[in-house]
Structure 1
Amino acid sequence: MSKFTDYQFQPFLREAIQGLGFESPTPIQKEIIPLILRGTSAIGQAHTGTGKSHSFLIPIVERTDSSTDNVQAVIVAPTRELATQLFDELSKLTKETDIRSSLLIGGTDKERSASRLKSNPHIVVGTPGRIQYMVESGALLIHTAKILVIDEADLAFDMGFIEDIDKFASKMPADLEMYVFSATIPENLKPFLNKYMESPAHVKIGKRKSFTEGMRYSLVPVRGMQREKKLLQVVEGITPYLAIIFTNTRRNADALADFMAESGIKVGKIHGDLSPRERTRMMKRIRDLEFEYIVATDLAARGIDIPGVSHVINYELPDELEFFIHRVGRTARAGLEGTAITLYDPSEEDKIIRIEAMGIPFVHEEVKNGEWVEVKERHARKRRTKQLDDIDRKAIAFVRKPKKVKPGYKKKMAKQIEDIKKRERRIKRKK
């Protein structure tokens, strides 16, 4: 189907799609919509910004029978923001219809949420923990729901939510249709998928765009200076349309937002400790362009749609370096250009090397009197010390810091690096 008008959707849905300004389905929509209309379980691999959400929302709405009083589809997202975002898009498709939908997310009153479920919704959207609570308490009856969608499944796995999903999925029909969407499919997620999915269709749309496409990566040393003061220097040197500043913890996000506000900068913030009402209000203010700067945790790096981000600033390097890619992916979207600025201390050199090994081309820079100046100190220091060859870089990039560190982990990592280097050099000599 080359146009949405080519589908035989119900009139109200055709009007809703037209009202959203959609003319032609995106590649993942072309693949996934027919599968869901046919009832064929599928795994969809696509990155944020590909139209993934509507690839399952549209056919689910088309298949929903509003004349019955049963739950027919359950849509799960790992965070409140993602769930709310999906629910808002679903509401646009079902407005002025008899299709009932409910949003079930943590941070809201459980009893009030349960009381709203006295008449079963046709479609449930929510976070795993809250849905499981409602099912366990008997407030939500999902044994009739034949469709289960898990959005951002790799993040749900990382956050430890698969167990909750497994608990309520086991109460759904034996002929359950499952649709799993994820940028990556971790090996540890596969047993769960195999439990519920027999020979699913596997749709993989496009490769992640080149890291260099429309992007500039600035690497700014902190050295002895306080990180907050260095950030203020950076802020003086940019004029963003919208900049997201990433920290690693909620506490650091609060502290940095307070510091920036005290320095006269109007700043918003997004993290998991905000109440649902606060986060809804904050997202509206962000979309209304009240702020030039937003301080955020990695929650905002996955899936949340914040349009118009021109700059990403890594105030702290993430512990999981894959999140570096998710962070910088917030900018240079829809054909626009973007800038990623990373503050680093020389003690974090190993992380920088690993990020470079992922294909990130840093430019080493300083901000002086509001002007950006390229500097050579980092590379010069590397030349004065031991020159890293391809084998060194490969070994350092391959060995990851364990999630839970124990005494002696640094020695263990060093030994692993040396073992890899020896093996690679033996292979090189044989060649």
Structure 2
Amino acid sequence: MKVNKFDRFKFQPFIIDSLNKFGFYSPTEIQERMIPIVLKGESAIGQSQTGTGKTFAYVLPILEKIDPKRQEVQAVITAPTRELASQIYHQILKVTENCSPDSQIMTRCYIGGTDKQRTIEKLKVQPQIVVGTPGRIKDLMVEQALFIHTSKILVVDEADMILDMGFIEDVDQVAAKMPENLQMLVFSATIPEKLKPFLKKYMENPKTVHIDPKNKAAENLEHALLPSRHRSKKQLVHDALLAYNPYLAIVFTNTKKMAEEVAYYLNEKGLKVGRVHGNLNPRERKKMMKQIQDLEFQYIVATDLASRGIDIEGVSHVINYELPTDLDFYIHRVGRTARAGNTGIALTIYESSDEDALNKLEKMGIQFKHVDLKKDGFVEIDERNKRKTRVRKEDEAAKTAKTLVKKPQKVKPGYKKKMQWEMDKIKKRQRKLNQKKK
């Protein structure tokens, strides 16, 4: 039997059994560093990119610490979106289904878009783990239906998103009802300045775990660039999807309006397309996520809501219809594919105005393959900055010629011709050398 390296954390048998069942035998870096801190009861801030296994970095040690004999709230986990909260909840359920009958752990998920009154009626028995969106957890607390004052652990997942979406005040009100010796665990891709006062209020000398990846994106991920060249970008997306014939592809746009436009265009062209963005009402979003999980769609058009935290399994291709204004979101988007050892392709359709952003991504370590779409599919093309390199070499040739043909104090007849002849000779020699190298 394969040795499970999680054994060294001395987890209960049901946790190790679940990990073996999932095929997880070695902790990721964030899990390696975070699990001992959580087990010790210390507060911590964890920063890592998407797809690094941070959910299990807090879920596993929290489950280890839950006392099944105490029927009261012992841990509260907040997430910015209903989809992410549901995802965390279902991951906990998968682990706890291996609990023995006498040590069952009760977990409940509280999110908007569900019947609040029915939820309140069911809270006669308090769960041991609460997962949910900050607003709904706060509402149930205000209604005096959910008693979170007994919980000594609070997790704030995707904290920068919670801040961006205006939910930090709700989290603040929830945290204020908890014990003074609260263990707070904050996970975030970035720590914005506006988040720091909240952290300072509840966390005294927290441990900080920052996983700065050696590679900004997965190694088994191919990054490709497709120039729009004044062609219809919607048509290019359509043709790219047909050329790739993906298992499952996500097309990312920057706005909800553009997501709708692209989805409508692809539907009109005969492709069955799913949509994930903030304009869908709770019922539509829940139905859409279920259809996606049931593999009813081969193509999904989404905003960055789907790039952070929401785990859509089996994504083989990501297409950036447009580059995000915050380039960190490029990493989040392409992180939806090439997960768990699988390969993936991330295609970006770019315009000349995207040049600065592409240069920044290259400085971040992204290596792009340059492609174009022809009738027979994708073909490799020259790099977009090859012409600039050629011009630079010609400038160098001119400088060399000027050093060889010194300008006399008195300009003699034929000086300019001689200079031009010398420059042409050097350029010709340079071209021959370049051909030999090729």
Specify if TM > 0.5. yes
Farther-moved stretch of structure 1 (41-50 vs 175-184): 41-50
Choose which of 238, 245, 251 in structure 2 pairs with 1:239: 245
Tell me the alpha carbon deviations over residues 45-94 of structure 1, each in whole angstroms, 9 at most, x when there is no partner: 23333222122112222222233332111001111111111000111233
Which residue of structure 2 aligns with residue 342 of structure 1? 348
Q: What does 1:207-246 correspond to in 2, within 5 Å?
A: 207-211=213-217, 213-246=219-252
Secondary structure at 1:274's aligned position in 2? coil
Unaligned runs of 5+ in 1: 388-431
Do the aligned partners of 2:307 and 2:332 also contact (CA within 8 Å) in 1?
yes
Which residue of structure 2 aligns with residue 46 of structure 1? 48
Which residue of structure 2 aligns with residue 253 of structure 1? 259
Which protein is bigger by CA-based radius of gyration? 2
How far residue 255 of structure 1 moved from its aligned partner, in angstroms, is: 2.8
How far residue 176 of structure 1 moved from its aligned partner, in angstroms, is: 0.4
How far residue 148 of structure 1 moved from its aligned partner, in angstroms, is: 0.3
Choose which of 148, 157, 160 in structure 2 pairs with 1:151: 157
The one-letter code sitting in structure 2 at the alignment partner of 1:370 is D
Mapped pair 1:168 → 2:170 = no
Do the aligned partners of 2:113 and 2:283 also contact (CA within 8 Å) in 1?
no
Identify if the C-alpha distance between structure 1 residues 259 and 320 changes in structure 2 by more than 3 Å, giving closer, same or farther: same
The one-letter code sitting in structure 2 at the alignment partner of 1:329 is G
Do the aligned partners of 1:313 and 1:342 also contact (CA within 8 Å) in 2?
yes
Q: Distance in 2 between matches of 1:13 and 1:379?
A: 52
Q: Distance in 2 between matches of 1:256 and 1:290?
A: 19
Identify if the C-alpha distance between structure 1 residues 114 and 316 changes in structure 2 by more than 3 Å, giving closer, same or farther: farther
How far residue 20 of structure 1 moved from its aligned partner, in angstroms, is: 3.5
Do the aligned partners of 1:233 and 1:370 also contact (CA within 8 Å) in 2?
no
Tell me the alpha carbon deviations over residues 159-213 of structure 1, each in whole angstroms, 9 at most, x when there is no partner: 3322221121111111101111223333332222221111222223452524483
Identify if the C-alpha distance between structure 1 residues 212 and 108 changes in structure 2 by more than 3 Å, giving closer, same or farther: closer
Choose which of 109, 117, 120 in structure 1 pairs with 2:115: 109
Which residue of structure 1 aligns with residue 29 of structure 2? 27
Tell me the alpha carbon deviations over residues 355-390 of structure 1, each in whole angstroms, 9 at most, x when there is no partner: 444443334432110322344595367579999xxx
Unaligned runs of 5+ in 2: 394-438
Identify if the C-alpha distance between structure 1 residues 135 and 335 changes in structure 2 by more than 3 Å, giving closer, same or farther: same
Q: Distance in 2 between matches of 1:20 and 1:223?
A: 46
Do the aligned partners of 1:105 and 1:127 also contact (CA within 8 Å) in 2?
yes
Which residue of structure 1 aligns with residue 325 of structure 2? 319
Q: Distance in 1 between matches of 2:212 and 2:6?
A: 21
Which residue of structure 1 aligns with residue 299 of structure 2? 293
Do the aligned partners of 2:218 and 2:338 also contact (CA within 8 Å) in 1?
no
Q: Distance in 2 between matches of 1:366 and 1:105?
A: 44
TM-score between the two structures when normalised by the length of structure 2: 0.79
The one-letter code sitting in structure 2 at the alignment partner of 1:213 is E
Identify if the C-alpha distance between structure 1 residues 237 and 193 changes in structure 2 by more than 3 Å, giving closer, same or farther: same
Tell me the alpha carbon deviations over residues 335-369 of structure 1, each in whole angstroms, 9 at most, x when there is no partner: 33322211233344444444444443334432110
Identify if the C-alpha distance between structure 1 residues 378 and 203 changes in structure 2 by more than 3 Å, giving closer, same or farther: closer
Identity of paired residues, percent? Answer: 53
Identify if the C-alpha distance between structure 1 residues 283 and 134 changes in structure 2 by more than 3 Å, giving closer, same or farther: same
Which residue of structure 1 aligns with residue 78 of structure 2? 76
The one-letter code sitting in structure 1 at the alignment partner of 2:77 is I
Choose which of 72, 87, 90 in structure 2 pairs with 1:88: 90
Choose which of 139, 142, 148 in structure 2 pairs with 1:136: 142
Identify if the C-alpha distance between structure 1 residues 163 and 343 changes in structure 2 by more than 3 Å, giving closer, same or farther: same
Q: Distance in 1 between matches of 2:392 and 2:249?
A: 37
Secondary structure at 1:143's aligned position in 2? helix
Q: How many pairs are equivalent?
A: 387
TM-score between the two structures when normalised by the length of structure 1: 0.80
How far residue 258 of structure 1 moved from its aligned partner, in angstroms, is: 2.5
The alignment's C-alpha RMSD in Å is 2.9
